[in-house]
């Protein structure tokens, strides 16, 4: 790539740009070659806002503090021109923190119609039982509707009875009366993840009702909650997003193991949700384990780290009990800011796709939008998944050990 290839087509501003680390003339517009195959990295120092238009897509990111950042752009087959347009007080800026350009880009703009499993081709699930936490809205709601439509028995575990009732009504009404014999059952059990006693009660009630559990979807979560702790005094994001789900899974493990004994091999699974902010905003190593008992005031770090905690929990469960508990599986995934149905399709891929293996769970792999493996994660997060004896930092194991001290008093005897 030569500097001349990325020369500006007009001098129209004072932004400082460089293409592939080469300085170009200051401008707001750069024409890219029609058949460019490599990513383009544009460096600039500014506090204005730019938008980037790819064909009909308009993408923008806010950066309030200004300063030096990077924007990485990957032209696709239909994209030949990159326009950086001055808009005022925002910038198109992403600081990738060691993650590959494509790994981020493809999560916001995945290949069209690429989901291997959707509601259109999911096999019948008659006789199977599912739990979806936070199933009354968003991704959880879409997943409940899909599984109900193919004959599954679905339990929403949420804290609002009225929201669950409304969601249940909308799910049932979305199917024609002629489909009544083909649909399943959708039910509700109250559970408030900010109170471990409530999680324990919900698990007890489920165990009284059911004799099997085919898939547990640890879906519910919160974000951007200030100055609040759980009933047990935990930082709110960690308590609700991660610790509460760890307790739920521990309480249901015996039933998951029993179900695996009578179900097809490798079909009983546990799915965890994560976030793209795990790779963009979590601290070094994913979680500052030494600060869990005395967290900072940074709610953005708490959210991203709690979602990293879900990844760590999924990996640790798979290592510690997955193989010897008759092939119960654990996978995290990370939804981007897209229509909730895409997150539901990702769940379906992890829950039912045969090529997703137990070995993938043990090594800590996780999926991203529509049902694909992430192409490459931050090195510090991969090291955190490994023990010190394996050449890693042991942060995932340390986090899981910390969580076990919190949930221990609520385990059933």
Residues facing residue 187 across a β-bridge: 155
Of 148, 303, 330, 331, which is the active-site residue? Answer: 303
Q: Which of 400, 406, 404 is nearest to 384 (CA)?
A: 400
Query: How many beta carbons lie within 10 A of that of residue 344, not counting itself?
Result: 28
3-class secondary structure, 387: coil
Residue-wise over 378-412: b if at least 16 C-beta within 10 A, else e? bebbebbbbeeeeebbbbbbbbbebbbebbeebee
Query: Is 347 annotated as catalytic?
Result: no
Q: Which of 409, 412, 403 is nearest to 239 (CA)?
A: 403
- Pairwise CA distance, residues 253 & 81, whole Å: 53
Helical segments of 220-339, H only: 236-237, 244-262, 277-281, 299-317
- Pairwise CA distance, residues 167 & 202, whole Å: 19
Strands of 46-120 (E only): list them: 50-54, 57-59, 68-73, 81-86
Residue 255: C-alpha distances to residues 34, 133, 263, 404, 413 (Å): 57, 17, 12, 19, 14
- Cα 20 off chain centre by: 31
Strands of 145-292 (E only): list them: 153-158, 185-190, 215-218, 269-273
Left (φ > 0), alpha (ψ -120 to 50) or beta: where does 173 sit? alpha
Residues facing residue 8 across a β-bridge: 30
- Cα 262 off chain centre by: 30
Residue 341: C-alpha distances to residues 45, 158, 188, 338, 348 (Å): 38, 19, 21, 8, 10
Spatial CB neighbours of 99, under 8 Å, sequence gap ≥ 6: 279, 280, 376, 377, 378
Catalytic site positions: 303
């Amino acid at each position: 790539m030569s500097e001349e290839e990325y020369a500006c087509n007009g001098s129209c501003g004072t932004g400082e740009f460089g293409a592939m680390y080469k300085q170009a003339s200051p401008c707001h517009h750069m024409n890219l070659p029609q058949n460019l195959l490599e990513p383009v990295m544009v460096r600039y120092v500014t506090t204005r806002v730019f938008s980037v238009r790819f064909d009909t897509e308009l993408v923008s990111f806010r950066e309030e503090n200004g300063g030096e950042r990077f924007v990485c752009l990957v032209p696709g087959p239909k994209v030949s021109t990159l326009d950086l347009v001055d808009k005022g007080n925002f910038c198109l800026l992403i600081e990738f923190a060691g993650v590959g350009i494509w790994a981020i880009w493809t999560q916001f703009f995945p290949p069209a119609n690429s989901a291997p499993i959707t509601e259109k081709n999911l096999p019948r699930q008659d006789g199977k039982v599912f739990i979806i936490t936070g199933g009354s809205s968003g991704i959880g709601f879409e997943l409940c509707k899909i599984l109900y439509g193919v004959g599954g028995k679905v339990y929403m575990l949420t804290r609002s009875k009225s929201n669950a009732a409304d969601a249940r009504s909308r799910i049932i009404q979305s199917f024609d009366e002629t489909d009544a014999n083909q649909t399943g059952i959708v039910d509700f059990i109250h559970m408030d993840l900010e109170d471990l006693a409530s999680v324990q009660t919900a698990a007890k009630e489920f165990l009284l009702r059911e004799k099997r559990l085919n898939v547990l979807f640890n879906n519910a979560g919160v974000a951007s909650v200030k100055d609040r702790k759980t009933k047990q005094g935990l930082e709110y994001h960690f308590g609700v997003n991660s610790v509460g789900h760890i307790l739920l899974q521990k309480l249901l493990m015996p039933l998951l193991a029993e179900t695996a004994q009578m179900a097809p091999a490798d079909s009983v699974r546990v799915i965890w949700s994560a976030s793209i902010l795990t790779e963009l905003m979590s601290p070094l190593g994913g979680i500052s384990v030494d600060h869990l008992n005395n967290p900072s005031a940074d709610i953005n770090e708490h959210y991203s780290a709690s979602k990293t905690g879900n990844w760590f929990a999924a990996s640790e469960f798979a290592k510690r009990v997955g193989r010897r508990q008759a092939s119960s599986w654990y996978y995290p995934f990370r939804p981007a800011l897209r229509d909730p149905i895409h997150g539901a399709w990702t769940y379906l891929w992890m829950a039912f796709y045969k090529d997703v293996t137990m070995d993938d769970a043990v090594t800590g792999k996780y999926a991203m939008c529509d049902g694909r493996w992430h192409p490459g994660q931050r090195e510090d997060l991969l090291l955190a998944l490994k023990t010190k004896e394996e050449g890693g930092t042991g942060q995932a194991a340390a986090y899981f050990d910390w969580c076990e001290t919190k949930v221990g008093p609520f385990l059933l005897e």
